[in-house]
Amino acid sequence: MFLQPGFKIPNHTKVPVYVCNCTETDEDYLGISERFSNLNEFLLQAVDGEEQINQELRLLQSLKNAVNCAKNADQKFMVVCNTSHYFTKEYSFEAFIDHIREGELSLADFLTGGLRWFNSAFQVTDNLYWIDSFSGVHFLVIYQRSYQKILEVMLNGDQDVHTVLSSVSQNKLMIHPFVSVQEDVPVALMDHIVDSAVAKVFFNANQLLHTLNDIAVFYREHQAIADLSTLQEQIVIPTYIINLSERPERLAHIKQQFKDRKEFMTTIVEACVHEIGAVGLWKSIRKIIKIAIENDDDVIVICEDDHEFTPQYTRDYFLKNVLEAYSQGTDYLNGGIAAFENCVLVGQNRFWTDRPTCTQFIVIYGSFFQKILDAPYDDTVLADAMLANLTANKIALHPFISTQRDFGYSDITALFDNNKGTVGRMFSDCDRKFSRIRAAYHRYHKSNAMN
């Protein structure tokens, strides 16, 4: 592999490894030294965080001490690990050095050898994946370009080092198959050997990556093929709006939202009343699905009365994505969400999401109607979670065309009730997360723009 100017790994140079949160006389350090004893390619050094008021501050201080050592020695990269690190059977020095070079060519700040937890990964090279956030610094390559960022890190309140490290960089990569796990788990993850609680955590992270890969492959093979010339025709989508009769201020609001939008044929549906608001919402959705089946609808919009169109909404943008999502086999399309865990970019303006929250504006396709009606439920039902669990074919639109109007109370979600501003912050955070992931995808896949 060709190296960028100034980045070299001479054959005679050992890879610097800084073992955090320990001294050379600690029993744990002696243990990891033994595990490295036959690996002459590494040079170990213990770094401690001195006396700090808690473990996170101690870890951060030891990390900064290690970075200062690397910075003063003008090391182009460094490895930090803790005493719980074990190499997996996938480790080889030659491949590891190739991964470090690939990370440098990708302008990475961090390259991790294995993780207990991460989210929203996508493949960059055969064995490297971009990750949005992560937990685990038991074996982490840190490149010189990020040294100063780490030295400037401060912990506030109950923040942890993993979260802060994730936040200071947009260029975080992960090696897969994993070359590092923690504690007493020198296990073969690819062979599905799971023999401890710690091993199970790494196994779950490994399985998540395979799932996200499978989803990415599926959508690459199912590109949108909608006939967009139909946008010139008069398209009207049946739109069912849920409203409680005792909420006239919400009714007035939602009517104003749809005023003069001829692409929607709106019907106000009296909300089902239940002592648990979330159960009432699910019953209302079921009620609408039954009406849609009776009306022989192929696709519908279900809308709550706190829905509010964003400035990004246009008729053609909305309808284009409704058509394209349908061509990809989507069961429901969400116009705007407040949170999710993992996502995969599957179109220019569409993300597959695992657990999208909020149902203030959802497009439901006919293929999904009966599955909704057949699903058993009880008083713990949450509409967004139920919909997400019923299908793998769920898509969120971004930029959002819908958000929630903050009335200062919620008939459904206790989190939003009397917590003014919470819903807006959540939608804004989610919007930034989608934007960050899209930007990263296009940075690494410049020649592979989505439809």
Has residue 5 been placed in a domain? Answer: no
pLDDT of residue 243 exceeding 60: yes
Residue 18 has pLDDT above 80, yes or no: yes
Across residues 394-400, what is the average pLDDT?
Answer: 98
- Is pLDDT above 60 for 276? yes
Q: What is the pLDDT of residue 3?
A: 41
pLDDT-derived band at 5, boundaries 50, 70, 90: very low
Q: What is the mean pLDDT of residues 382-389?
A: 97
304-327 as b/e: b if 16+ CB within 10 A: bbbbbbeebbeeeebbbbbbbbbe
Residues 100 and 129 in one domain: yes
Look at residue 196 in the predicted model and tell me its pLDDT. Answer: 55
pTM of the shown model:
0.90
Cα–Cα distance, 19 to 59 (Å, whole number): 11
> Are 39 and 167 members of one domain?
yes
Q: How many CA atoms lie within 13 A of 136 on its CB side?
A: 27
- Residue 2's pLDDT is what? 34
Instruction: Determine the pLDDT at residue 416.
Output: 54
Same domain, 141 and 285: no
First-residue to last-residue Cα distance in the chain? 31
Give the residue from 196, 220, 244 where a domain finishes.
220
- In this structure, the answer to whether residues 250 and 391 fall within a common structural domain is yes
Highest-confidence segment of 153-157, 373-377, 447-451: 373-377
Q: Which domain holds residue 182?
A: 15-220
When pLDDT is averaged across residues 21-37 and rounded to a whole number, the result is 90
Residue 320 CA to residue 314 CA, distance in Å, equals 10
Give the least confident one: 85-94, 106-115, 141-150, 190-199.
Answer: 190-199
Residue 9 in domain: no
Q: Give yes or no for residue 210 having a pLDDT over 60.
A: yes
Residues 151 and 299 occupy one common structural domain: no
Quick: pLDDT tens for 121-143. 999 999 999 999 998 889 999 99
The answer to whether the CB of 312 falls within 8 A of the CB of 379 is: no
Given 220, 247, 267, which residue is the final one in a domain?
220
User: What span, in angstroms and rounded, lies between the C-alpha atoms of 2 and 55?
Assistant: 41
- Nearest-CA neighbor of 241 among 224, 225, 261? 261
Cβ atoms 85, 168 nearer than 8 A: no
Q: 277 and 155 share a domain?
A: no
Quick: pLDDT tens for 49-75. 877 678 888 889 999 999 999 999 999
Q: To the nearest whole number, what is the mean pLDDT of the chain? A: 90
Q: Is 7 helix (H, G, I), strand (E, B) or coil?
A: coil
Q: Is the same domain home to 21 and 120?
A: yes
* Residue 277: predicted pLDDT: 93
Q: Alpha helix (H) ranges present in 223-314?
A: 248-257, 277-294
Which 3 state secondary structure label does DSSP give 87? Answer: strand
What is the tally of structural domains in the chain? 2
What is the model's pLDDT at position 157?
A: 74
Instruction: Report yes or no on 208 lying in a domain.
Output: yes
Residue 189 banded pLDDT, cuts 50, 70, 90: very low
| CA distance linking residue 307 with residue 422, whole number of Å | 15
* Overall residue count recorded for the chain in this entry: 451
pLDDT at site 234: 92
Give the CATH number for residue 335: 3.90.550.10
Q: How many CA atoms are closer than 13 Å to the CA of 92, on its beta-carbon side?
A: 4
DSSP tag of 144: G
**In contact, 26 and 46? CB cutoff 8 Å:** yes
* Residue reference for tokens 């955070």: 429
Percent of the chain's residues with pLDDT above 90: 74
Residue 236 has pLDDT above 60, yes or no: yes
pLDDT of residue 73: 95
Domain with 75 in it: what CATH number? 3.90.550.40
Domain membership of residue 107 (yes or no) is yes
Q: Are residues 240 and 187 both part of a single domain?
A: no
Residue 418 banded pLDDT, cuts 50, 70, 90: low
pLDDT grade for 447, boundaries at 50, 70 and 90: low
Are 165 and 274 members of one domain?
Answer: no
Task: Check whether residue 121 and residue 51 sit in a common domain.
Answer: yes
Structure confidence at residue 187 (pLDDT): 46
Separation of alpha carbons 281 and 170, rounded Å: 38
Considering the domain architecture, whether residues 162 and 285 belong to the same structural domain is answered as: no
pLDDT score, position 56: 86
For residues 278 and 423, state if they share a domain: yes
Please state whether beta strands 361-365 and 299-304 pair in parallel, antiparallel, or not at all (unpaired): antiparallel
Kind of pairing, strands 133-135 and 237-243? unpaired
* Residues 315-322, mean pLDDT to the nearest whole number: 97
- Judge whether 3 lies within some domain: no
* Closest to 274 in 3D by CA, of 283, 286, 263: 283
The tens digit of pLDDT for each residue in 325-375 reads: 999 999 999 999 999 999 999 999 999 999 999 999 999 999 999 999 999
Residue 278 confidence (pLDDT) above 90: yes
Q: Is residue 90 part of a domain?
A: yes
Helix or strand run (H / E) with residue 111 = strand 110-112
Pairing of strands 361-365, 332-334: antiparallel
| Range scoring the smallest mean pLDDT among 93-107, 155-169, 260-274, 322-336 | 155-169
pLDDT classification of 415: cutoffs 50, 70, 90: low
198, 220, 242 — which closes off a domain? 220
- With b meaning 16 or more CB within 10 Å and e meaning fewer, what string describes 240-274? bbbbbeebeebbebbeebbeeeebbebebbebbee
